[in-house]
Amino acid sequence: MKAAPPLPPAVIVWSGKGGVGKSTIAAQTARGLAAIGVRTGYLDADLHGPSAATLFGIEERLAVRGRRIVPAVRDEVEIASTSLIADPDHAYVWRGPLMRGVLSQLLQDTDWTRADVLVVDMPPGTGEIQMQILSELTCLGAVVVTTPQDLSLADVRRSARMLLDADVPVTAVVENMASVACPSCAFSFPPLPGDAGQHVHAIFPEAAFVRLPMSPLTGHSDPLAQALRPLVEKIADRLQQRPLSPC
């Protein structure tokens, strides 16, 4: 039986905390890389709470051709997600070996041969999925996402320790929802209390620090895409500079 081709290097979008906008940032990062000519894959590793179908506006299911999963394509990004294998309201109750097997299939059986880099949207926490991703992929870098509040900081610090222990290079720390602009006067102010982003950045001082506005838009020209442009360019530069680190 012919061996599967090697997986592309990964950018893992990581938090440890749910509800910080990690999936939106992962999707926008993938779109940004594709927009500057980097052939990009997107793995939705949040098996129980997948969001790729909504974020990319995909209605069709994943196809299989010659025992290989054919990723969906939107905005020049190749996408694999459990949200593309069942109805939108389907509840996934996998655990243990079954859960690990599903993730392994999405990783190893998807045809990523056209991708130069794989953006991985990680689930919250520091459990089995995180351990499996770190063991099966080669990391280009991690993007650590937080929001300003102390509650987010507590969880993100714990997940940051996992990255440190695994020697995963952190490309950027992103503080999401750091500001919001008044639609009438364009005055910008912080909608949430705290400065968690600065505290997380102190753990990874060599990483870029990106503060993102709260925005209802998700298109290429919105403030989120513009704010993420330096991060996207840094990832593209890192891809050219390799060598890579094992996750």
Segment 87-105, tens digit of pLDDT: 878 888 888 899 999 999 9
Q: 10-239 architecture in CATH?
A: 3-Layer(aba) Sandwich (3.40)
d(CA 7, CA 2): 15
Characterize the bridge pairing of strands 245-246 and 170-181: unpaired
**pTM score, two decimals?**
0.90
Reported as a pLDDT band with limits 50, 70 and 90, residue 2 is low
Taking 70 as the threshold, does the pLDDT of residue 219 lie above it?
Answer: no
d(CA 36, CA 25): 17
pLDDT for residue 243: 57
pLDDT for residue 178: 80
